[in-house]
Amino acid sequence: MLTQLFVTAEKGRDNLVDLDVAAWQWLALLVIITAMLLVDLLVVHKEAHEVGTREAAIESAVWIGCGIAFTGVVAWWFGAAASGEYISGFLIEKSLSIDNVFVWALIMGYFKVPRKYQHRVLFWGIFGALVLRAIFIFAGVALIERFDWVLYVFGAFLLYTAGKLIFTENDHVDPGNSKFLRVVNRFVPSTDEFDGQKLFSRSTGRRLATPLFAVLMLVEATDVIFAVDSVPAVLAVSNEQFIVFSSNAFAILGLRALYFLLADMHNRFAFLQQGLAIILAFVGVKMIIAEWYHIPTWLSLIVIAIVLSASIGFSLKVTRTAADAETAGRAFDETADLPGD
């Protein structure tokens, strides 16, 4: 009886699940996402305020918990194989999104956005990102279904991106040099003055864009750039639009809370970039060799979890060791400066 009520997953091309997703399941997903966004906007962050570390940590835990909990929903509806693909995609997207957080921090710092206004502009940034990701995902899946060779293009691109992450430093990104921002400023009349959380303000009878509008445009532009990497990476572990979109959606929904938690901690994740490069290289190879050998989803999940945990753990350990050494050095200098007997 249960098998008649809920759709089960079957193995499709490349040993990935092939689902028959009902319209009500898509509707349920969209209702869940919309409800979470509304609660966040109208209840949790109704009033503009500075988000502290404790609040950000609690919210991050809740968002991540919701994303992981949806694994159970996917398993309930479609079976264990589908839930394995979902959680793999969720982890890939979540790990790749951490770099997004640090770029946002650079943008916020460049425009000197007051901390209490940052959450609102990021809310609309996330909303736009969901729409953009949906477009990327549906287009990507359609291309793969129509042209098998696109898998090799995506795989090669991920390997290229992995190489750039290893051999390129991203610490000197200057939002002020953005060509996209110059185009926006050319066509949209703007002011340098903030007007609360408003994207547009009236001044001398004219409707002008506030700096928050420029910030929002840059946030959306950077998400497009990151989506070019992350969407093909998730497509390596699932060809199902429902799984790819839901894993992306739940991963990026909690990015605002993660931003307030990690934005000032960039220097503590010295080896995260290398870890992300390894993950991208792994899924790139997985895509390229899929016709000859399918790397099981459970193995992909283990590799991603180990690499991500190791890169973060090693970064924190090295940072802590360096901090202890610096503290010890200062203590030695202070002792050396004491007058002798």
Structural contact between residues 19 and 82, judged by C-beta atoms closer than 8 angstroms: yes
The domain total for the chain is 1
Characterise 140 by phi-psi region: left (phi > 0), alpha (psi -120 to 50), beta (else).
Answer: alpha
Higher pLDDT, 334 or 32: 32
Structural contact between residues 77 and 26, judged by C-beta atoms closer than 8 angstroms: no
In a domain, 337, yes or no: no
In a domain, 335, yes or no: no
In a domain, 323, yes or no: no
Amino acid 240: pLDDT: 87
Cα(6)–Cα(104) distance, rounded to whole angstroms? 41
Strand partners, 18: 10
In a domain, 63, yes or no: yes
What is the token pair recorded at 306? 């180990």
Range of the domain at 139: 2-295+305-313
Q: In the predicted model, what is the mean pLDDT of the chain?
A: 76
CB neighbourhood size of 179 (10 A): 8
Structural contact between residues 79 and 183, judged by C-beta atoms closer than 8 angstroms: no
In a domain, 334, yes or no: no
* Per-residue 3-state assignment (H helix, E strand, C coil) for 94-130: HHHHHHHHHHHHHHHHHCCCCHHHHHHHHHHHHHHHH
Cα(115)–Cα(314) distance, rounded to whole angstroms? 30
Residue 246 pLDDT level (bands cut at 50, 70, 90): very high
Per-residue model confidence as pLDDT tens digits over 201-210 = 877 677 888 8
Residue with tokens 């003055």: 193
In a domain, 339, yes or no: no
Higher pLDDT, 328 or 100: 100
* pLDDT > 90 fraction of the chain, expressed in percent and rounded: 12
Q: Which pTM does this prediction carry?
A: 0.73
Per-residue model confidence as pLDDT tens digits over 125-180 = 888 888 888 888 888 777 777 777 777 777 787 787 778 777 766 555 566 666 66
Amino acid 1: pLDDT: 33
In a domain, 331, yes or no: no
